[in-house]
Amino acid sequence: MENPVRYEAHGDIGVIRVDNPPVNATSHAVREGLVACAREFAASPQKVAVIVGEGRTFIAGADITEFGKAPREPHLPDAINVIEALDKPVVCVIHGTALGGGFEVALGSHYRVMLRGARIGLPEVNLGLLPGAGGTQRLPRLIGIVPAAEIFTSAKMISAEDCLALGIADDLSNDDPFEAGMAMARKVLAEGLPVRRVSEMSVPPTDEAALEALKKKVARANRGHVCHLKAIEVAVEGTKLPFTEGMKLERAAFWEMMQTPQRAAMIHAFFAERKVASLPEIKGVEPRDLSKIGIIGGGTMGGGIAVSCLLSGLSVTLIERDAESVEKAHNGIARTLADSVKRGKLGAEARDMLLSERLLVTDSYGKLSDADLVIEAVFESMEVKKDVFTKLDAVCKPGAVLASNTSYLDVDEIAAMTKRPEDVIGLHFFSPAHVMKLLEVVVAAKTAKDVVATGFALAKKLKKVPVRAGVCDGFIGNRILKTYRTAADIMVLEGASPFQVDKALEEFGFAMGPYAVADLAGIDIGYLTRKRLVPTRKPGERFGEWGDVLYELGRLGRKTGRGHYIYDDETPKGRPDPEVEEIIAKERRAKGITPRDFTDAEIVERYMAAMINEGAKVVGEGIAQRPLDVDVTKLYGYGFPRFRGGPMHYADEIGLAKVLATIEEAGKAGDDIWEPAPLLKELVAGDKTFASLN
């Protein structure tokens, strides 16, 4: 491979070009190149150097693909120290995104110019790490500990304008990167600006109260993660020491984080969310046009999908039953957009334009005649959906993609209602649809390849994370949900408290336990699901029915102020309702069950084993392409803790043999859900991992 870092002489200015597509990551070759070019500059007659990145961005960080492998010298902090130690000025030009090690290279330079639109960030915590090349030691010296800690614990990207205001950037430019760098270098020369090493700067005074407040906020926002508070600790303790000592502290902490399972899990998630969209079946397949979107139904899902499309530059025609529903749907969308304006995510003028020029809400199906893609988001009933698809088949133009937002139902059966099943696909959004990133792209038996490609193209346009799913009841996400929810219900029937189950899973890392989620989604949803499943239930099949009692008592969860928890002024976030324990005890007695105690560990072990087992069945049957597709589905649609990497990654971490043992032990009670997945047994027998299938 050609050397990814090149040195060029331009009169008195030496230019160090970093050219390592796609994002100039500081691979071993780049680190070697940076050191070699710095040394070439030092020995050269050039008086000032410019570090510039080729392509769409400056250095976007260390090369993540090298993590977990044996580290090779020069390490990045050492390469940056070579640059900073130069006794002739070094200018760094930032375009695109200077992230992690890339921003640390900039901090090791003596002057920084940013192109307008460029951003910096220290997102290492998103990988279970902390800045490991000076970020925790140089940035506090430049802007203070608290502002620095806000940057490396939030992983937020900071704009060029804010960087200028903070003193991170010395100047902004509208030129291209090379010209911006040359102009800054000429300024340094003309004004005789000296070498200016950040490592030699002293740390501005720290507002201790603000620091304590930040630690509390970070701990609350990143429950279960180990790297965020570690990064603050290293910055605080390290900057009390001479720079080189502080760097040793940072390095030790960096390697400590590198060994954690959280780091492996979060890097797995980083690459998995990028891999889900790379599908062989759509490689080189041109998607169909995608500018005019039709939506059937203006309820919570239809309205959310409409907002997601409008905010992504698409025009929307939304169909509702009658004039009253048309108005209600329009107002719902207007309210959501107004909320985006209030939160500064959207300008008021832009909002007005979307409502007046891009959105049409009507009760006339005829308005869909030129739609490129139509998404049906009506009530979850096969009969209603079949009626809608019959109408769509009649009014939509040839080549229009007809999609259903069903979350469970058989897309093949829906497609069969049309004369163009090859144009039918499932696009399963998650509520709230303008917020949730996951999109299950459900490929039916006859769905054409370019329709699949169009589903993935829509996901990219809406900035969603798409996962390809096959057709079965509940596809990937909801099918697996049904199983681990049943496992939880059976543990409750056997004696666990639903509140203990929730607490144990929240400590494991879930934002909410299954019963708090049931209250949020609505007890009526669970009730309708149980009713829908009655015809398919086997005799003697165990499942929890106390939800039906709550339903009949009108306790539908948060929306009625009572479900499993009581939600009132005293406890807006909910407190356990002792009556629920009584209702469950009554069900146990009726079913002749003598309750027993469960430990939190056993609850987590069983819950996860059920999720992993069903995940393995879903992969084994080809409903999900790879185990990583299950992981991404659970991470982006079901609040699975990112620092665990997803259920299949977690299974590999704890060992598949152990998971299988838990399943076989739980299976002694005879519940179908504990039938071990053939794929899991196969992998255990072959001493293989789920990762080997990714």
Could you list the residues that contact ligand T1G (CB under 6 A)?
A: 22-23, 25, 60-65, 76, 97, 99-101, 104, 123-124, 126-127, 129, 131-133, 135, 274
- 76 or 203: CB nearest ligand T1G: 76
CB of 508 vs ligand T1G, minimal distance in Å: 25
Task: Indicate the DSSP class of residue 287.
Answer: P
Residue 373 DSSP SS3: strand
CA distance 337 to 438: 21
104 is catalytic: yes
CB of 61 vs ligand T1G, minimal distance in Å: 2
Please name the amino acid found at residue 672: D
Task: Indicate the DSSP class of residue 562.
Answer: B
- 76 or 265: CB nearest ligand T1G: 76
135: phi then psi, degrees, rounded to nearest 5: -60, -40
CB of 40 vs ligand T1G, minimal distance in Å: 24
- 126 or 625: CB nearest ligand T1G: 126
CB of 545 vs ligand T1G, minimal distance in Å: 46
Structural contact between residues 18 and 33, judged by C-beta atoms closer than 8 angstroms: yes
Exposed e or buried b for every residue in 6-18, given b needs 16+ CB within 10 A? Answer: bbeeeeebbbbbb
Tokens read off for 186: 């000429």
CA distance 689 to 683: 6
CB of 271 vs ligand T1G, minimal distance in Å: 6
Structural contact between residues 393 and 420, judged by C-beta atoms closer than 8 angstroms: yes
- 64 or 183: CB nearest ligand T1G: 64
CA distance 618 to 475: 8
- 25 or 458: CB nearest ligand T1G: 25
- 26 or 689: CB nearest ligand T1G: 26
Hey, CA dihedral for 316, 321, 327, 328, is it positive or negative?
negative
CA 251 to chain centre: 28
Tokens read off for 391: 């109408």
Closest CA to 88 of 17, 178, 188, 179: 188
CA distance 512 to 304: 22
Choose the catalytic residue: 84, 124, 440, 605: 124
- 30 or 556: CB nearest ligand T1G: 30
CA distance 228 to 219: 8
Q: What are the strands of the beta sheet with 13-18, ordered from one edge?
A: 5-10, 13-18, 48-53, 90-94, 111-115, 171-173
Q: Which residues, in sequence order, are CB contacts of 254 under 8 Å at separation 6+?
A: 129, 130, 131, 132
- 135 or 513: CB nearest ligand T1G: 135
- 65 or 259: CB nearest ligand T1G: 65
CB of 4 vs ligand T1G, minimal distance in Å: 13
CA distance 449 to 435: 28
CB of 603 vs ligand T1G, minimal distance in Å: 34
CB of 119 vs ligand T1G, minimal distance in Å: 9
Closest CA to 458 of 425, 497, 482: 425
Helices (H) then strands (E): counts for the chain:
28, 19
CB of 262 vs ligand T1G, minimal distance in Å: 14
Burial class (CB in 10 A: 0-12, 13-18, 19+), 459: buried
- 269 or 400: CB nearest ligand T1G: 269
Q: Which residues, in sequence order, are CB contacts of 93 under 8 Å at separation 6+?
A: 50, 51, 52, 53, 58, 113, 114, 115, 173, 177, 178, 180, 181, 184
CB of 23 vs ligand T1G, minimal distance in Å: 4
Choose the catalytic residue: 104, 150, 250, 320: 104
- The catalytic residue positions are 104, 124
